[in-house]
Amino acid sequence: MFSTGTIIASIIIFGLLIFVHEFGHYIVARMARIRVLEFAVGFGKELLGWEKKGTRYTLRIFPLGGFCRLLGEDPEEAYQSGSFQEKSLLSRLAVIAAGSIMNFFLGIILFSLVYYFFLGVPQTRIAQVGEVLPQSRAEEAGLENGDLILSIDGKKMETWDDVVSYINANPDKEISILANRNNRDLLINVVPQKEDETGKGFIGIAPVYKKYALFPSIGLGITYTWLFVKLIFVSLAQMITGQIPADVAGPVGIIAVVGEVMQTGIGNLFTLAAIISINLGIINLLPVPALDGSRLIFLVLEGIRGKPIDPQKEGFIHFVGFTFLILLMILIAFQDIRRLFL
């Protein structure tokens, strides 16, 4: 059903996302002097394991999960030295939130790598054409890669943003572009096409992109991570309110997407991994029992009440939530398999 390359790529992506998430819990727990009993990547039977400084590190047979087991998560261990429960409320909040925060950081890193190595950073400070899209109105009018746009309709264009703003504001109206090509000025007339969704004009040109620009790449990594965080939250709200249909993919569906994206290049695969990482971070912050979000809710309630929730009751709620999540994952996997064969 899946090629060997797809399976290997999926294992690497899932393994990386899970490792980073659990490492967030792990590193903050160690900083807070909470004893980590086990740091595991995957679930099921243990394939490889070793112990160091009181922590057991394991690699398990199914690389679609993982956990960081802390001393004190079991109510019977609550009052032992180095227990999670004996630490301050702020320390415990930081430990629980750290997993999702690390997923967001991974999103920033992956997006930054995409712009640094693959796409490059758009050079918006100059009004130079980097690419003319095939069969676009710009190509039909005679614009070429490398043309420096001096003015449009007599208005001086100093930056790429100036060019985009003017074209966007003039759909279906002929504009006159004064461009310099090989030290020769050319006057090119073109009518921007109107975009149906936004009503803005476009002619099919892109700016010059520069690779290996470290800090601008990091800036774009931060920008796009924040953009997808907002987009995912908006999409979740729209699904909950019924504005858009609920379309959720499980591991099987994600593996299928990985296989498709692999064929378009490693840069797109990095982008997909970044989006999945951001999704994982957000989903874990949802107030669903057994997820980090619900544990944060219990800690916030503890801060409001001045005393912790009964560990037995909290444990039962997490158990019910975990059971529900397992059933939901099975249902989603079934739906994913149906989609693949229909």
Please identify which of the residues 22, 77, 302, 314 carries the catalytic annotation: 22
CA-to-CA distance for 40 and 42, rounded, in angstroms?
6
CA-to-CA distance for 271 and 94, rounded, in angstroms?
28
Amino acid letter, 44: G
User: HEC string of 53-85?
Assistant: CCEEEEEEEEEEEEEEEECCCCHHHCCCCCCCC
Copy the structure tokens of residue 62: 């199914």
Whose tokens are 């004190």? That residue is 72
C-alpha dist (Å) from residue 23 to 11, 28, 73, 123, 176: 17, 8, 17, 36, 56
Whose tokens are 């930081």? That residue is 94
Q: Other CB atoms closer than 10 Å to residue 111's CB: what's the count?
A: 28
Q: Which residues pair with 67 in a beta bridge?
A: 40
Helices 89-113 + 4-31 axis angle, to 10: 140
158 catalytically annotated: no
Strands 36-52 and 209-210: unpaired
Ordered DSSP codes for 4-19 = HHHHHHHHHHHHHHHH
Q: Other CB atoms closer than 10 Å to residue 210's CB: what's the count?
A: 14
Active site residues: 22
